[in-house]
Structure 1
C-alpha cells in the first residue's frame, strides 16, 4: 500500500518528515514492491554517495546505449519499409505481413525514442542549457503532462501488442503455407489483417 504523510497544518511531508518543499509531498511506494525488489532498493540506497553516483552513471550510459540501438532500429526499419514499398516484385502476401510487422515495430521504436529523449531533455541529462532559468521540476514534458503521458503509453502498449500479433500471424501463415496450403488454394489475408 502506498502512503503519504501529512502534518498537523495539513501540508504533505516530503521524504523527510520536516521537508515541505514539494506541495504534492512524497509518496512512499516501497511497500508496493516485492521483498526482493525492496532489498535491491535498500542495497542501492545504502553506501556512499560515490557508489550511488557510479550506479546512476551506469544507468545513464545504458539508457544512451538503448537510444543509440533504437535509432539504428529506426533507420533499419525505415529502409526496410522503403524497400518493401518500392520494389513491385516484393509485393506478395508474405512481405505484406512483414511490412505490417515492421510498421508496428516502427511505431513502438518511435514512441520509445520520443519518451526517452523527452526524459533526457526534461531531466537535463542531455541539454542543460534548455530553459536554464527554470528548475527541472517546472519543465513540461511527456512525463508530467498526464494526457500526453497516458496516450504515449497506450500507443506503446498497442504497438507492442500489434507487433506480437503480426509475429503470430507470420508464424500462422508459414504454418499454413507448409501444411494446409498444399491441399487448399485460397488465402485468408483479410482474416490475418483483422487479427493483426
Structure 2
C-alpha cells in the first residue's frame, strides 16, 4: 500500500461468521474488509490524544498524592509526639490526615496494579481465559474496593470536621471526648454501609476487568452517600461563614480588615472541609464531554490530590499552636 509510511501501524479487519466462512459484502460475493485504519491517516489520532490525556491525569495524580502522603505522614508524626497537642480537635485532625494517607496510598497502589495488569496483555484466547481468572485480576478488583472505601472514609472525616466545628460554634457540649467514639464510627464505619453493597453488586452484575467501568445504578450506591455528605458539609460551611460574617460586623472591624479576615477564614476552611467538591458534585462526568470533561477532570484531580498537602500545611506546619508547642519542646 503506497500511501502507508514505513513504521506506521494499521490493521485490515475481516469477520468470521458462525459457519466458519468470511463475511461478504451486502449483495455481493466479495469478502467484507474494513481497511479504514490504513486509508485514514488520522484514524488513531483521537485514540493517541486520549492516551496522552490519561497519561497526564495519571502523572498528576501520582505527583499530587505522593506529596500529600509524605507531608501528611510528617504531620501525623509531629502531632502524635507532641502530647500538649492531644485533644479532641487534634485527634479529629489526625484521623482526617490518616484518611488522606490511606486514600493516597490506595490511589498509588491502584495505578501500579493497573500498569502491571495492562502491560504485556495476552494475545490469544487461552491466555485471556487464564488472565481473567488470574491473581492479578483479583488483586486489581481488591485495590478498587480498597480505594472506594478509603475515599469514602476521607469524605466522611471531612464531614466529621464540619460537624465538630459546627458543634464548637453553635452548641455548648462539655463532654467532647465522648463524642470522639461516635466520630470514629462515622468516619471509619459509615463507608462500609455502601462499599459492601457496591462490591456485592459489582460481583453479581458487572464483574468485568478491574471494575473500572460503572453501570449508573451501581455507581450511585457509592455516589449517593458521598453526594449527600458533600451537600451537608456545604450547608454547614455556609452556616459557619454566616456566623463569622455577623461576628466580624458586630465587632465593628474596618471594612478592609473584615473583608480580609472573612476571606482568609473561608480559604482556610475550604480544604479542611472539602467544600470545593460541591462544584464537582453538580458538574458530573456525564454532564460534560470531550475537552470540557478533560478540563473538569484535571481541575478536580489537582484539587483532590493536593488537598492533603494543603491540609497538612494549614493545620500542622503553619498552625500557630503546633509551631508554639514545637518551639517550646525544642
The structural deviation recorded for 1:113 is: 0.2
CA deviations 1:124-148 (Å, max 9, x no partner) are 5xxxxxxxxxx4337x7xx973332
Q: Which residue of 2 aligns with 1:157?
A: 148
- Are residues 150 and 118 of structure 1, via their aligned partners in 2, closer, same or farther at CA, if it must alter by over 3 Å? closer
- Are residues 167 and 79 of structure 1, via their aligned partners in 2, closer, same or farther at CA, if it must alter by over 3 Å? same
Highest CA radius of gyration, 1 or 2?
2
The structural deviation recorded for 1:83 is: 1.3
The structural deviation recorded for 1:92 is: 0.8
- Are residues 168 and 56 of structure 1, via their aligned partners in 2, closer, same or farther at CA, if it must alter by over 3 Å? same
Q: Which residue of 1 aligns with 2:181?
A: 190
Looking at structure 2, the residues matched to 191 and 122 of structure 1 have their Cα atoms a distance apart, in angstroms, of: 40
Looking at structure 1, the residues matched to 102 and 186 of structure 2 have their Cα atoms a distance apart, in angstroms, of: 18
Q: Which residue of 2 aligns with 1:29?
A: none
Asked if 1:71 is matched to 2:56, the reply is: no
Q: Which residue of 1 aligns with 2:48?
A: 53
- Give the unaligned 5+ runs of structure 1: 11-16, 19-45, 125-134
Alignment partner of 1:93 out of 70, 81, 88: 88
Alignment partner of 2:121 out of 116, 124, 136: 136
Alignment partner of 1:118 out of 113, 122, 141: 113
CA deviations 1:39-63 (Å, max 9, x no partner) are xxxxxxx943345324422321331
Structure 2 SS opposite 1:48:
coil
Aligned residues: 146
Looking at structure 1, the residues matched to 17 and 78 of structure 2 have their Cα atoms a distance apart, in angstroms, of: 63
Structure 2 SS opposite 1:145:
helix
Over aligned residue pairs, what C-alpha RMSD do you find? 3.2
Give me the TM-score of the superposition, normalised by structure 2. 0.39
With a CA cutoff of 8 Å and minimum separation of 6, indicate the structure with the bigger relative contact order.
2
Looking at structure 1, the residues matched to 135 and 54 of structure 2 have their Cα atoms a distance apart, in angstroms, of: 21
- Give the unaligned 5+ runs of structure 2: 1-14, 21-31, 34-40, 188-330
Alignment partner of 1:105 out of 94, 100, 110: 100
- Are residues 162 and 51 of structure 1, via their aligned partners in 2, closer, same or farther at CA, if it must alter by over 3 Å? closer
- Are residues 7 and 85 of structure 1, via their aligned partners in 2, closer, same or farther at CA, if it must alter by over 3 Å? farther
CA deviations 1:7-65 (Å, max 9, x no partner) are 5269xxxxxx99xxxxxxxxxxxxxxxxxxxxxxxxxxx94334532442232133112
Asked if 1:174 is matched to 2:165, the reply is: yes
Structure 2 SS opposite 1:185:
coil
- Are residues 107 and 82 of structure 1, via their aligned partners in 2, closer, same or farther at CA, if it must alter by over 3 Å? same
- Are residues 161 and 51 of structure 1, via their aligned partners in 2, closer, same or farther at CA, if it must alter by over 3 Å? closer
- Are residues 58 and 154 of structure 1, via their aligned partners in 2, closer, same or farther at CA, if it must alter by over 3 Å? closer
- Are residues 81 and 160 of structure 1, via their aligned partners in 2, closer, same or farther at CA, if it must alter by over 3 Å? same
